[in-house]
Structure 1
Protein backbone atom coordinates (compact mmCIF):
# COMPACT_ATOMS: atom_id res chain seq x y z
CA UNK A 1 0.00 0.00 0.00
CA UNK A 2 1.43 3.35 -1.00
CA UNK A 3 2.28 5.81 1.70
CA UNK A 4 2.16 9.58 1.68
CA UNK A 5 5.20 11.82 1.78
CA UNK A 6 4.86 14.50 4.42
CA UNK A 7 5.96 18.05 3.63
CA UNK A 8 7.41 18.24 7.15
CA UNK A 9 8.14 15.75 9.88
CA UNK A 10 4.98 15.61 11.96
CA UNK A 11 6.81 13.99 14.86
CA UNK A 12 9.28 16.89 14.96
CA UNK A 13 6.47 19.28 15.81
CA UNK A 14 4.90 17.32 18.66
CA UNK A 15 5.82 16.63 22.25
CA UNK A 16 5.42 12.94 23.14
CA UNK A 17 3.61 12.37 26.42
CA UNK A 18 3.97 9.31 28.62
CA UNK A 19 0.61 10.10 30.19
CA UNK A 20 -1.46 11.06 27.16
CA UNK A 21 -4.60 11.91 29.09
CA UNK A 22 -3.11 14.57 31.32
CA UNK A 23 -4.67 18.04 30.89
CA UNK A 24 -2.85 20.20 28.35
CA UNK A 25 -1.06 17.19 26.85
CA UNK A 26 -1.05 18.83 23.40
CA UNK A 27 1.70 21.33 22.64
CA UNK A 28 -0.63 23.94 21.14
CA UNK A 29 2.22 26.17 19.97
CA UNK A 30 3.68 23.36 17.88
CA UNK A 31 0.23 22.35 16.68
CA UNK A 32 -0.46 25.90 15.48
CA UNK A 33 2.89 26.01 13.70
CA UNK A 34 2.08 22.71 12.00
CA UNK A 35 -1.35 23.87 10.86
CA UNK A 36 0.11 27.11 9.49
CA UNK A 37 2.87 25.26 7.66
CA UNK A 38 0.52 22.80 6.04
CA UNK A 39 -1.89 25.53 4.98
CA UNK A 40 0.88 27.51 3.28
CA UNK A 41 2.42 24.48 1.59
CA UNK A 42 1.62 23.82 -2.06
CA UNK A 43 -1.55 21.86 -2.79
CA UNK A 44 0.39 18.69 -3.56
CA UNK A 45 1.77 18.63 -0.02
CA UNK A 46 -1.45 19.29 1.87
CA UNK A 47 -1.86 15.87 3.42
CA UNK A 48 -2.05 16.57 7.15
CA UNK A 49 -4.59 15.92 9.85
CA UNK A 50 -6.19 19.22 8.95
CA UNK A 51 -5.81 19.41 5.15
CA UNK A 52 -5.75 16.11 3.32
CA UNK A 53 -6.04 14.74 -0.17
CA UNK A 54 -8.15 11.63 0.27
CA UNK A 55 -7.57 10.20 -3.19
CA UNK A 56 -3.81 10.09 -2.64
CA UNK A 57 -4.03 8.71 0.90
CA UNK A 58 -6.43 5.82 0.24
CA UNK A 59 -4.27 2.81 -0.54
CA UNK A 60 -6.86 0.32 -1.77
CA UNK A 61 -8.22 0.58 -5.30
CA UNK A 62 -11.99 0.26 -5.13
CA UNK A 63 -12.36 -1.30 -8.58
CA UNK A 64 -10.17 -3.41 -10.89
CA UNK A 65 -8.35 -1.24 -13.43
CA UNK A 66 -9.70 -1.02 -16.96
CA UNK A 67 -7.65 -2.37 -19.80
CA UNK A 68 -4.91 0.11 -20.65
CA UNK A 69 -4.92 1.78 -17.23
CA UNK A 70 -1.64 2.18 -15.41
CA UNK A 71 -0.88 -0.26 -12.61
CA UNK A 72 -1.22 -3.97 -12.15
CA UNK A 73 -4.47 -5.65 -13.15
CA UNK A 74 -4.10 -7.99 -10.17
CA UNK A 75 -5.09 -6.91 -6.65
CA UNK A 76 -2.10 -5.69 -4.64
CA UNK A 77 -3.16 -7.51 -1.46
CA UNK A 78 -5.97 -9.58 0.01
CA UNK A 79 -7.92 -6.53 1.19
CA UNK A 80 -7.97 -5.10 -2.32
CA UNK A 81 -9.14 -8.47 -3.68
CA UNK A 82 -11.95 -8.55 -1.10
CA UNK A 83 -13.00 -5.00 -1.97
CA UNK A 84 -13.10 -5.76 -5.69
CA UNK A 85 -15.28 -8.78 -5.03
CA UNK A 86 -17.49 -6.80 -2.68
CA UNK A 87 -18.52 -4.39 -5.41
CA UNK A 88 -20.15 -7.13 -7.47
CA UNK A 89 -21.55 -8.75 -4.32
CA UNK A 90 -23.30 -5.53 -3.29
CA UNK A 91 -24.69 -5.11 -6.80
CA UNK A 92 -26.30 -8.53 -6.46
CA UNK A 93 -27.66 -7.64 -3.01
CA UNK A 94 -29.32 -4.58 -4.49
CA UNK A 95 -30.92 -6.74 -7.16
CA UNK A 96 -32.29 -9.10 -4.52
CA UNK A 97 -33.61 -6.31 -2.30
CA UNK A 98 -33.68 -2.72 -3.50
CA UNK A 99 -32.52 0.03 -1.18
CA UNK A 100 -36.02 1.47 -0.91
CA UNK A 101 -37.32 -1.91 0.23
CA UNK A 102 -34.58 -2.10 2.86
CA UNK A 103 -35.49 1.36 4.13
CA UNK A 104 -39.18 0.50 4.22
CA UNK A 105 -38.42 -2.57 6.36
CA UNK A 106 -36.21 -0.70 8.87
CA UNK A 107 -39.05 0.31 11.24
CA UNK A 108 -39.64 -3.40 11.87
CA UNK A 109 -35.99 -4.11 12.77
CA UNK A 110 -34.96 -4.55 16.39
CA UNK A 111 -33.91 -1.14 17.76
CA UNK A 112 -30.22 -0.20 17.87
CA UNK A 113 -28.36 -0.40 21.17
CA UNK A 114 -25.60 1.79 22.58
CA UNK A 115 -22.39 0.18 21.34
CA UNK A 116 -20.05 2.86 22.68
CA UNK A 117 -21.89 3.02 26.00
CA UNK A 118 -21.49 -0.72 26.45
CA UNK A 119 -17.72 -0.42 25.96
CA UNK A 120 -17.44 2.37 28.52
CA UNK A 121 -19.51 0.53 31.12
CA UNK A 122 -17.56 -2.71 30.80
CA UNK A 123 -14.17 -0.96 30.93
CA UNK A 124 -15.24 0.85 34.10
CA UNK A 125 -16.41 -2.42 35.66
CA UNK A 126 -13.22 -4.39 34.95
CA UNK A 127 -10.50 -1.75 34.85
CA UNK A 128 -9.39 -3.37 31.59
CA UNK A 129 -10.01 -2.61 27.93
CA UNK A 130 -13.54 -3.61 27.02
CA UNK A 131 -13.70 -6.73 24.87
CA UNK A 132 -15.29 -6.85 21.43
CA UNK A 133 -15.28 -10.61 20.87
CA UNK A 134 -15.39 -11.75 17.27
CA UNK A 135 -17.65 -14.49 15.94
CA UNK A 136 -15.39 -15.80 13.20
CA UNK A 137 -15.21 -19.13 11.44
CA UNK A 138 -12.34 -18.57 9.01
CA UNK A 139 -9.97 -16.02 7.52
CA UNK A 140 -7.94 -15.78 4.29
CA UNK A 141 -4.66 -16.02 6.18
CA UNK A 142 -5.58 -18.81 8.64
CA UNK A 143 -8.21 -20.82 6.81
CA UNK A 144 -10.74 -22.56 9.07
CA UNK A 145 -10.23 -21.32 12.63
CA UNK A 146 -13.15 -23.03 14.33
CA UNK A 147 -14.36 -26.20 12.53
CA UNK A 148 -17.20 -26.73 15.03
CA UNK A 149 -18.65 -23.33 14.26
CA UNK A 150 -22.00 -22.48 15.84
CA UNK A 151 -22.35 -18.68 15.77
CA UNK A 152 -25.13 -18.49 18.34
CA UNK A 153 -23.42 -20.77 20.87
CA UNK A 154 -20.14 -18.89 20.46
CA UNK A 155 -21.91 -15.57 20.92
CA UNK A 156 -23.62 -16.81 24.06
CA UNK A 157 -20.31 -18.04 25.47
CA UNK A 158 -18.71 -14.67 24.73
CA UNK A 159 -21.48 -12.81 26.51
CA UNK A 160 -21.20 -15.13 29.52
CA UNK A 161 -17.42 -14.74 29.51
CA UNK A 162 -17.59 -10.97 29.90
CA UNK A 163 -17.51 -9.48 26.41
CA UNK A 164 -18.87 -5.94 26.20
CA UNK A 165 -19.83 -6.24 22.53
CA UNK A 166 -19.62 -8.79 19.73
CA UNK A 167 -18.19 -8.53 16.24
CA UNK A 168 -19.86 -10.73 13.64
CA UNK A 169 -18.18 -11.48 10.30
CA UNK A 170 -20.70 -11.21 7.47
CA UNK A 171 -18.40 -11.73 4.48
CA UNK A 172 -19.13 -15.15 3.00
CA UNK A 173 -16.47 -15.69 0.34
CA UNK A 174 -13.36 -15.00 2.40
CA UNK A 175 -14.48 -15.45 6.02
CA UNK A 176 -17.41 -17.87 5.68
CA UNK A 177 -19.66 -15.46 7.56
CA UNK A 178 -23.15 -14.23 6.75
CA UNK A 179 -25.78 -11.65 7.57
CA UNK A 180 -27.90 -14.60 8.66
CA UNK A 181 -25.41 -15.21 11.47
CA UNK A 182 -25.72 -11.59 12.54
CA UNK A 183 -29.51 -11.77 12.50
CA UNK A 184 -29.60 -15.09 14.35
CA UNK A 185 -27.36 -13.77 17.14
CA UNK A 186 -29.43 -10.61 17.49
CA UNK A 187 -32.65 -12.56 17.79
CA UNK A 188 -31.35 -14.80 20.58
CA UNK A 189 -31.75 -11.94 23.03
CA UNK A 190 -28.02 -11.57 23.80
CA UNK A 191 -27.55 -8.17 25.42
CA UNK A 192 -24.13 -7.42 23.93
CA UNK A 193 -24.38 -4.85 21.09
CA UNK A 194 -23.27 -6.18 17.71
CA UNK A 195 -20.67 -4.86 15.27
CA UNK A 196 -21.29 -5.89 11.68
CA UNK A 197 -17.77 -6.83 10.52
CA UNK A 198 -18.21 -6.22 6.83
CA UNK A 199 -16.11 -4.60 4.12
CA UNK A 200 -18.22 -1.53 3.51
CA UNK A 201 -17.95 0.01 0.05
CA UNK A 202 -21.50 1.26 -0.45
CA UNK A 203 -24.04 3.01 1.76
CA UNK A 204 -26.52 0.24 0.92
CA UNK A 205 -24.57 -2.04 3.27
CA UNK A 206 -25.18 0.31 6.20
CA UNK A 207 -28.94 0.14 5.84
CA UNK A 208 -28.84 -3.61 5.27
CA UNK A 209 -26.67 -4.17 8.35
CA UNK A 210 -29.09 -2.15 10.49
CA UNK A 211 -32.00 -4.20 9.12
CA UNK A 212 -30.23 -7.41 10.15
CA UNK A 213 -29.67 -6.19 13.70
CA UNK A 214 -26.32 -4.37 13.68
CA UNK A 215 -25.64 -1.74 16.35
CA UNK A 216 -22.33 -0.69 14.77
CA UNK A 217 -20.43 -1.11 11.51
CA UNK A 218 -16.79 -1.13 10.43
CA UNK A 219 -15.44 1.58 8.09
CA UNK A 220 -11.90 0.99 6.79
CA UNK A 221 -9.83 4.12 6.11
CA UNK A 222 -7.59 2.40 3.56
CA UNK A 223 -10.70 1.59 1.50
CA UNK A 224 -12.87 4.69 1.87
CA UNK A 225 -11.95 8.28 0.98
CA UNK A 226 -12.79 11.02 3.45
CA UNK A 227 -15.98 12.15 1.72
CA UNK A 228 -17.35 8.59 1.84
CA UNK A 229 -16.50 8.22 5.53
CA UNK A 230 -18.14 11.57 6.29
CA UNK A 231 -21.31 10.54 4.47
CA UNK A 232 -21.38 7.11 6.09
CA UNK A 233 -20.89 8.56 9.57
CA UNK A 234 -23.91 10.74 8.94
CA UNK A 235 -25.98 7.77 7.79
CA UNK A 236 -24.90 5.71 10.79
CA UNK A 237 -25.92 8.53 13.13
CA UNK A 238 -29.34 8.75 11.49
CA UNK A 239 -29.76 4.98 11.95
CA UNK A 240 -28.64 5.02 15.58
CA UNK A 241 -25.51 2.97 14.84
CA UNK A 242 -21.92 3.53 15.90
CA UNK A 243 -19.06 3.39 13.39
CA UNK A 244 -15.69 1.86 14.14
CA UNK A 245 -13.23 3.57 11.78
CA UNK A 246 -10.19 1.39 11.23
CA UNK A 247 -6.69 2.70 10.50
CA UNK A 248 -3.35 1.01 9.92
CA UNK A 249 -0.89 3.91 9.76
CA UNK A 250 -0.16 7.41 11.02
CA UNK A 251 -1.23 8.80 7.64
CA UNK A 252 -4.64 7.16 7.92
CA UNK A 253 -5.02 8.23 11.55
CA UNK A 254 -4.25 11.83 10.63
CA UNK A 255 -6.94 11.70 7.95
CA UNK A 256 -9.52 10.32 10.35
CA UNK A 257 -8.72 12.90 13.04
CA UNK A 258 -9.56 15.51 10.42
CA UNK A 259 -13.11 14.16 10.06
CA UNK A 260 -15.83 15.37 12.41
CA UNK A 261 -18.00 12.93 14.29
CA UNK A 262 -15.53 10.06 14.74
CA UNK A 263 -16.07 8.44 18.15
CA UNK A 264 -14.41 5.03 17.69
CA UNK A 265 -11.05 4.41 16.05
CA UNK A 266 -9.68 0.93 15.53
CA UNK A 267 -5.92 0.50 15.14
CA UNK A 268 -5.17 -2.63 13.15
CA UNK A 269 -1.70 -3.96 13.88
CA UNK A 270 -1.58 -6.04 10.71
CA UNK A 271 0.50 -4.77 7.78
CA UNK A 272 -1.68 -4.92 4.66
CA UNK A 273 1.24 -5.66 2.37
CA UNK A 274 3.04 -8.37 4.33
CA UNK A 275 0.25 -9.50 6.69
CA UNK A 276 2.78 -9.41 9.53
CA UNK A 277 1.46 -8.26 12.90
CA UNK A 278 3.18 -5.93 15.35
CA UNK A 279 1.25 -4.61 18.35
CA UNK A 280 3.82 -1.83 18.70
CA UNK A 281 1.94 -0.18 15.84
CA UNK A 282 -0.72 0.83 18.38
CA UNK A 283 1.86 2.53 20.57
CA UNK A 284 3.42 4.27 17.57
CA UNK A 285 0.13 5.73 16.38
CA UNK A 286 -0.94 6.97 19.80
CA UNK A 287 2.23 8.82 20.71
CA UNK A 288 2.39 12.58 20.99
CA UNK A 289 -0.18 15.01 19.68
CA UNK A 290 -2.35 12.36 18.05
CA UNK A 291 -2.92 10.67 21.38
CA UNK A 292 -3.64 14.02 22.97
CA UNK A 293 -6.26 14.88 20.38
CA UNK A 294 -7.90 11.49 20.87
CA UNK A 295 -8.07 12.01 24.64
CA UNK A 296 -9.40 15.55 24.32
CA UNK A 297 -12.19 14.35 22.00
CA UNK A 298 -13.05 11.37 24.21
CA UNK A 299 -12.53 8.98 21.29
CA UNK A 300 -12.32 5.31 22.23
CA UNK A 301 -9.42 3.51 20.59
CA UNK A 302 -9.85 -0.18 19.82
CA UNK A 303 -6.76 -2.38 19.53
CA UNK A 304 -7.01 -4.95 16.73
CA UNK A 305 -4.88 -7.95 15.66
CA UNK A 306 -2.01 -9.67 17.42
CA UNK A 307 -3.59 -9.83 20.88
CA UNK A 308 -3.14 -13.28 22.43
CA UNK A 309 -1.93 -12.88 26.01
CA UNK A 310 -2.55 -10.75 29.13
CA UNK A 311 0.80 -9.08 28.39
CA UNK A 312 -0.43 -8.08 24.92
CA UNK A 313 -3.60 -6.57 26.39
CA UNK A 314 -1.62 -4.73 29.07
CA UNK A 315 0.75 -3.33 26.44
CA UNK A 316 -1.98 -1.80 24.30
CA UNK A 317 -3.84 -0.56 27.39
CA UNK A 318 -0.73 1.36 28.44
CA UNK A 319 -0.53 2.75 24.92
CA UNK A 320 -4.02 4.19 25.34
CA UNK A 321 -6.66 1.78 24.03
CA UNK A 322 -10.03 1.57 25.73
CA UNK A 323 -11.17 -1.62 24.02
CA UNK A 324 -9.76 -4.60 22.14
CA UNK A 325 -11.26 -6.55 19.26
CA UNK A 326 -10.18 -10.17 19.44
CA UNK A 327 -11.25 -13.16 17.39
CA UNK A 328 -8.79 -15.92 16.59
CA UNK A 329 -7.23 -16.38 20.02
CA UNK A 330 -10.60 -17.00 21.69
CA UNK A 331 -12.90 -18.37 18.99
CA UNK A 332 -10.60 -21.35 18.39
CA UNK A 333 -10.98 -22.45 22.02
CA UNK A 334 -13.45 -25.22 22.80
CA UNK A 335 -14.62 -23.02 25.66
CA UNK A 336 -14.62 -19.39 24.42
CA UNK A 337 -15.41 -18.08 27.90
CA UNK A 338 -12.25 -19.76 29.21
CA UNK A 339 -10.40 -18.26 26.27
CA UNK A 340 -11.48 -14.79 27.40
CA UNK A 341 -10.20 -15.44 30.92
CA UNK A 342 -6.90 -16.61 29.44
CA UNK A 343 -6.65 -13.50 27.26
CA UNK A 344 -7.05 -11.13 30.20
CA UNK A 345 -5.30 -13.27 32.80
CA UNK A 346 -8.37 -13.40 35.02
CA UNK A 347 -12.08 -14.07 35.01
CA UNK A 348 -13.99 -11.04 33.73
CA UNK A 349 -17.33 -12.80 33.37
CA UNK A 350 -20.45 -11.01 34.45
CA UNK A 351 -21.63 -12.05 37.86
CA UNK A 352 -25.34 -12.86 38.38
CA UNK A 353 -27.20 -9.97 39.93
Structure 2
Protein backbone atom coordinates (compact mmCIF):
# COMPACT_ATOMS: atom_id res chain seq x y z
CA UNK A 1 0.00 0.00 0.00
CA UNK A 2 1.44 3.38 -1.05
CA UNK A 3 1.38 6.51 1.11
CA UNK A 4 -1.38 7.85 -1.11
CA UNK A 5 -3.43 4.67 -0.60
CA UNK A 6 -3.12 5.08 3.16
CA UNK A 7 -4.16 8.72 3.00
CA UNK A 8 -7.22 7.99 0.87
CA UNK A 9 -8.28 5.08 3.10
CA UNK A 10 -8.08 7.33 6.15
CA UNK A 11 -9.91 10.11 4.30
CA UNK A 12 -12.88 7.83 3.59
CA UNK A 13 -13.25 7.26 7.33
CA UNK A 14 -12.95 10.99 8.07
CA UNK A 15 -15.64 11.86 5.53
CA UNK A 16 -18.03 9.26 6.94
CA UNK A 17 -17.50 10.65 10.43
CA UNK A 18 -18.02 14.22 9.22
CA UNK A 19 -21.27 13.30 7.48
CA UNK A 20 -22.53 11.84 10.75
CA UNK A 21 -21.75 15.11 12.58
CA UNK A 22 -23.11 17.72 10.19
CA UNK A 23 -25.36 17.47 7.15
CA UNK A 24 -24.91 19.09 3.76
CA UNK A 25 -28.02 21.13 4.52
CA UNK A 26 -26.38 22.48 7.66
CA UNK A 27 -23.15 23.25 5.79
CA UNK A 28 -25.18 25.15 3.20
CA UNK A 29 -26.50 27.44 5.93
CA UNK A 30 -23.05 28.45 7.20
CA UNK A 31 -22.30 32.17 6.80
CA UNK A 32 -19.35 31.72 4.44
CA UNK A 33 -21.28 29.40 2.14
CA UNK A 34 -23.08 32.29 0.44
CA UNK A 35 -20.05 34.53 -0.06
CA UNK A 36 -18.87 35.46 -3.56
CA UNK A 37 -15.68 33.55 -4.29
CA UNK A 38 -12.37 35.01 -5.48
CA UNK A 39 -10.97 33.69 -8.76
CA UNK A 40 -7.52 32.12 -8.54
CA UNK A 41 -7.44 31.75 -12.32
CA UNK A 42 -7.96 35.49 -12.78
CA UNK A 43 -5.31 36.28 -10.16
CA UNK A 44 -2.76 34.09 -11.94
CA UNK A 45 -3.50 35.67 -15.32
CA UNK A 46 -3.53 39.27 -14.07
CA UNK A 47 -0.86 41.64 -15.37
CA UNK A 48 2.09 41.74 -12.99
CA UNK A 49 0.96 38.67 -11.04
CA UNK A 50 3.72 36.93 -9.10
CA UNK A 51 2.03 33.63 -9.94
CA UNK A 52 2.98 32.33 -6.52
CA UNK A 53 0.39 30.25 -4.68
CA UNK A 54 1.91 30.28 -1.21
CA UNK A 55 1.07 27.39 1.08
CA UNK A 56 0.55 27.03 4.79
CA UNK A 57 1.85 23.56 5.65
CA UNK A 58 2.96 22.34 9.07
CA UNK A 59 4.26 18.94 8.07
CA UNK A 60 4.26 16.29 5.34
CA UNK A 61 4.67 12.52 5.16
CA UNK A 62 8.07 12.88 3.50
CA UNK A 63 9.53 15.80 5.51
CA UNK A 64 7.91 15.40 8.94
CA UNK A 65 7.45 18.65 10.89
CA UNK A 66 8.28 21.68 8.74
CA UNK A 67 7.00 24.50 10.96
CA UNK A 68 4.22 24.12 13.51
CA UNK A 69 4.99 27.22 15.57
CA UNK A 70 3.34 29.99 13.55
CA UNK A 71 -0.31 31.03 13.42
CA UNK A 72 -2.21 30.62 10.18
CA UNK A 73 -3.19 34.30 10.21
CA UNK A 74 0.45 35.40 10.56
CA UNK A 75 1.64 33.17 7.74
CA UNK A 76 -1.15 33.84 5.27
CA UNK A 77 -1.36 37.59 5.88
CA UNK A 78 2.39 37.73 5.37
CA UNK A 79 2.04 35.86 2.10
CA UNK A 80 -0.72 38.15 0.84
CA UNK A 81 1.21 41.29 1.81
CA UNK A 82 4.30 39.97 0.02
CA UNK A 83 2.40 39.58 -3.24
CA UNK A 84 1.13 36.02 -3.37
CA UNK A 85 -1.38 35.50 -6.18
CA UNK A 86 -3.24 32.99 -4.04
CA UNK A 87 -3.03 30.95 -0.86
CA UNK A 88 -3.10 27.21 -0.25
CA UNK A 89 -4.16 25.85 3.12
CA UNK A 90 -3.80 22.21 4.13
CA UNK A 91 -6.84 20.82 5.94
CA UNK A 92 -5.72 17.18 6.19
CA UNK A 93 -5.05 16.42 9.86
CA UNK A 94 -3.35 13.05 10.15
CA UNK A 95 -0.70 13.36 7.44
CA UNK A 96 -0.21 17.13 7.08
CA UNK A 97 -1.22 18.56 10.46
CA UNK A 98 -3.98 20.72 8.99
CA UNK A 99 -7.51 21.45 10.17
CA UNK A 100 -10.82 23.04 9.25
CA UNK A 101 -9.91 25.90 11.60
CA UNK A 102 -6.81 26.69 9.52
CA UNK A 103 -8.95 27.45 6.47
CA UNK A 104 -11.44 29.46 8.52
CA UNK A 105 -8.64 31.54 10.06
CA UNK A 106 -6.98 32.09 6.69
CA UNK A 107 -10.27 33.28 5.24
CA UNK A 108 -10.91 35.67 8.11
CA UNK A 109 -7.44 37.13 7.73
CA UNK A 110 -7.56 37.41 3.93
CA UNK A 111 -10.96 38.42 2.62
CA UNK A 112 -10.00 39.27 -0.96
CA UNK A 113 -7.28 36.69 -1.71
CA UNK A 114 -8.17 33.41 -3.39
CA UNK A 115 -7.70 30.38 -1.14
CA UNK A 116 -7.29 26.76 -2.20
CA UNK A 117 -8.50 24.05 0.14
CA UNK A 118 -5.59 21.61 -0.10
CA UNK A 119 -6.84 18.16 0.80
CA UNK A 120 -7.62 14.77 -0.67
CA UNK A 121 -11.09 15.22 -2.11
CA UNK A 122 -12.93 11.96 -2.72
CA UNK A 123 -16.56 12.86 -1.98
CA UNK A 124 -18.89 15.71 -3.00
CA UNK A 125 -19.53 16.28 0.71
CA UNK A 126 -16.03 17.74 0.99
CA UNK A 127 -16.91 20.37 -1.61
CA UNK A 128 -19.74 21.62 0.58
CA UNK A 129 -17.28 21.71 3.49
CA UNK A 130 -14.83 23.72 1.39
CA UNK A 131 -17.50 26.23 0.45
CA UNK A 132 -18.73 26.52 4.04
CA UNK A 133 -15.20 27.03 5.33
CA UNK A 134 -14.42 29.87 2.92
CA UNK A 135 -12.46 28.20 0.12
CA UNK A 136 -12.49 29.56 -3.42
CA UNK A 137 -10.77 26.64 -5.13
CA UNK A 138 -10.68 22.89 -4.54
CA UNK A 139 -7.99 20.38 -5.43
CA UNK A 140 -8.69 17.17 -7.30
CA UNK A 141 -5.80 14.71 -7.42
CA UNK A 142 -5.98 12.50 -10.51
CA UNK A 143 -3.75 9.86 -8.92
CA UNK A 144 -6.45 8.94 -6.41
CA UNK A 145 -9.61 9.53 -8.48
CA UNK A 146 -11.31 7.73 -11.36
CA UNK A 147 -12.39 9.69 -14.46
CA UNK A 148 -15.99 9.38 -13.23
CA UNK A 149 -15.07 10.87 -9.86
CA UNK A 150 -13.20 13.74 -11.49
CA UNK A 151 -16.21 14.49 -13.67
CA UNK A 152 -18.66 14.42 -10.76
CA UNK A 153 -16.50 16.38 -8.34
CA UNK A 154 -15.46 19.05 -10.84
CA UNK A 155 -19.04 19.57 -12.07
CA UNK A 156 -20.34 19.83 -8.51
CA UNK A 157 -17.59 22.29 -7.61
CA UNK A 158 -18.63 24.56 -10.47
CA UNK A 159 -22.26 24.32 -9.40
CA UNK A 160 -21.15 25.61 -6.00
CA UNK A 161 -19.14 28.45 -7.53
CA UNK A 162 -15.77 26.91 -6.72
CA UNK A 163 -12.87 26.77 -9.17
CA UNK A 164 -11.18 23.44 -9.84
CA UNK A 165 -7.47 22.72 -9.74
CA UNK A 166 -6.75 19.28 -11.16
CA UNK A 167 -3.41 17.85 -10.11
CA UNK A 168 -1.57 15.41 -12.36
CA UNK A 169 1.91 13.89 -12.36
CA UNK A 170 2.23 12.23 -15.76
CA UNK A 171 0.69 12.03 -19.21
CA UNK A 172 -1.43 8.98 -18.37
CA UNK A 173 -3.22 10.91 -15.61
CA UNK A 174 -3.75 13.85 -17.96
CA UNK A 175 -5.13 11.74 -20.79
CA UNK A 176 -7.68 9.88 -18.68
CA UNK A 177 -8.99 12.98 -16.88
CA UNK A 178 -12.16 14.75 -18.11
CA UNK A 179 -11.27 18.45 -18.32
CA UNK A 180 -14.61 20.09 -19.09
CA UNK A 181 -14.93 21.62 -15.62
CA UNK A 182 -11.24 22.11 -14.87
CA UNK A 183 -9.98 25.70 -14.52
CA UNK A 184 -6.34 25.03 -13.66
CA UNK A 185 -4.08 22.04 -14.17
CA UNK A 186 -1.26 21.61 -11.68
CA UNK A 187 1.66 19.33 -12.41
CA UNK A 188 2.94 17.88 -9.15
CA UNK A 189 6.63 17.34 -9.68
CA UNK A 190 6.65 14.90 -6.78
CA UNK A 191 5.01 11.50 -7.27
CA UNK A 192 2.50 11.16 -4.44
CA UNK A 193 2.84 7.39 -4.45
CA UNK A 194 6.44 7.53 -3.26
CA UNK A 195 7.31 11.23 -2.73
CA UNK A 196 10.62 10.52 -4.48
CA UNK A 197 11.32 13.21 -7.09
CA UNK A 198 13.14 16.44 -6.32
CA UNK A 199 13.07 18.38 -9.62
CA UNK A 200 10.61 20.02 -12.01
CA UNK A 201 11.07 17.58 -14.89
CA UNK A 202 7.45 16.42 -14.67
CA UNK A 203 6.24 19.96 -15.35
CA UNK A 204 8.65 20.56 -18.20
CA UNK A 205 7.73 17.24 -19.79
CA UNK A 206 3.99 17.96 -19.77
CA UNK A 207 3.87 21.62 -20.70
CA UNK A 208 3.08 20.98 -24.37
CA UNK A 209 0.55 18.26 -23.54
CA UNK A 210 -1.80 20.44 -21.48
CA UNK A 211 -4.63 21.89 -23.62
CA UNK A 212 -4.66 25.59 -24.46
CA UNK A 213 -7.22 27.52 -22.47
CA UNK A 214 -6.45 25.81 -19.18
CA UNK A 215 -4.10 27.69 -16.89
CA UNK A 216 -1.13 25.52 -15.94
CA UNK A 217 0.81 25.66 -12.72
CA UNK A 218 3.78 23.76 -11.33
CA UNK A 219 3.71 22.28 -7.83
CA UNK A 220 6.44 21.07 -5.45
CA UNK A 221 10.24 20.94 -5.76
CA UNK A 222 10.49 24.70 -6.40
CA UNK A 223 13.00 26.50 -4.19
CA UNK A 224 14.91 28.91 -6.45
CA UNK A 225 13.86 32.00 -8.44
CA UNK A 226 15.74 30.59 -11.44
CA UNK A 227 13.29 27.67 -11.46
CA UNK A 228 10.37 30.11 -11.70
CA UNK A 229 11.98 31.80 -14.68
CA UNK A 230 12.50 28.43 -16.37
CA UNK A 231 8.91 27.37 -15.77
CA UNK A 232 7.54 30.71 -16.97
CA UNK A 233 9.47 30.34 -20.20
CA UNK A 234 7.74 26.96 -20.61
CA UNK A 235 4.30 28.55 -20.28
CA UNK A 236 3.46 28.05 -16.61
CA UNK A 237 1.43 30.84 -15.00
CA UNK A 238 1.45 29.63 -11.41
CA UNK A 239 3.80 28.03 -8.91
CA UNK A 240 2.55 26.36 -5.74
CA UNK A 241 5.24 26.61 -3.06
CA UNK A 242 5.05 25.77 0.63
CA UNK A 243 8.07 24.17 2.22
CA UNK A 244 10.54 26.74 0.85
CA UNK A 245 8.73 29.49 2.74
CA UNK A 246 7.43 27.54 5.72
CA UNK A 247 10.96 26.55 6.79
CA UNK A 248 11.59 30.21 7.62
CA UNK A 249 10.58 31.88 10.88
CA UNK A 250 8.84 34.55 8.79
CA UNK A 251 7.37 32.88 5.68
CA UNK A 252 5.89 36.13 4.36
CA UNK A 253 9.24 37.91 4.46
CA UNK A 254 10.86 34.91 2.79
CA UNK A 255 8.28 35.12 -0.01
CA UNK A 256 8.85 38.87 -0.42
CA UNK A 257 12.58 38.27 -0.87
CA UNK A 258 11.86 35.42 -3.29
CA UNK A 259 9.55 37.54 -5.46
CA UNK A 260 12.12 40.35 -5.50
CA UNK A 261 14.67 37.94 -6.99
CA UNK A 262 12.43 36.63 -9.77
Cα distance in 2, alignment partners of residues 106 and 228 from structure 1: 28
Pairing of 1:28-177 with structure 2 (within 5 A): 75=1, 77-105=2-30, 109-121=34-46, 124-126=47-49, 130-177=51-98
Deviations 1:46-92 (A, max 9, x none): xxxxxxxxxxxxxxxxxxxxxxxxxxxxx2x2111100000000000
Change (3 A) 1:108 1:276: closer
1:197 paired with 2:118, answer yes
1:236 paired with 2:151, answer no
Query: Displacement, 1:342?
Result: 4.1
- Among 322, 340, 346, the alignment partner of 2:255 is 340
The answer (yes or no) to whether the contact 1:226–1:259 under 8 Å persists in 2 is: no
1:301 paired with 2:216, answer yes
Query: Displacement, 1:228?
Result: 1.2
Query: Displacement, 1:314?
Result: 1.5
Pairing of 1:176-215 with structure 2 (within 5 A): 176-215=97-136
Name segments (4+ residues, structure 1) moved above 6 Å: none
SS in 2 for 1:222: helix
Change (3 A) 1:101 1:337: closer
Unmatched runs of 5 consecutive residues or more in structure 2: none
Query: Displacement, 1:108?
Result: 5.4
Change (3 A) 1:270 1:107: closer
SS in 2 for 1:218: strand
Cα distance in 1, alignment partners of residues 255 and 75 from structure 2: 12
Query: Displacement, 1:133?
Result: 0.4
> TM-score, length-normalised on structure 1?
0.70
Alignment coverage as a number of residue pairs? 261
What RMSD in Å do the two structures reach over aligned CA positions?
A: 1.8
Cα distance in 2, alignment partners of residues 222 and 108 from structure 1: 28
Cα distance in 1, alignment partners of residues 117 and 32 from structure 2: 19
Q: State the match for 1:9 in structure 2.
A: none
Change (3 A) 1:286 1:177: same
Cα distance in 2, alignment partners of residues 273 and 118 from structure 1: 31
The answer (yes or no) to whether the contact 1:195–1:215 under 8 Å persists in 2 is: yes
Q: State the match for 2:237 in structure 1.
A: 322
The answer (yes or no) to whether the contact 2:103–2:134 under 8 Å persists in 1 is: yes
Change (3 A) 1:93 1:338: same
> TM-score, length-normalised on structure 2?
0.93
Cα distance in 1, alignment partners of residues 30 and 82 from structure 2: 34
- Among 249, 253, 270, the alignment partner of 2:190 is 270
Pairing of 1:283-302 with structure 2 (within 5 A): 283-287=204-208, 290-291=209-210, 294-295=211-212, 298-302=213-217
SS in 1 for 2:186: strand
The answer (yes or no) to whether the contact 1:161–1:336 under 8 Å persists in 2 is: no
Cα distance in 2, alignment partners of residues 272 and 219 from structure 1: 13
Q: State the match for 1:58 in structure 2.
A: none
SS in 2 for 1:230: helix
Change (3 A) 1:260 1:110: closer
Query: Displacement, 1:312?
Result: 1.4
The answer (yes or no) to whether the contact 1:109–1:213 under 8 Å persists in 2 is: no
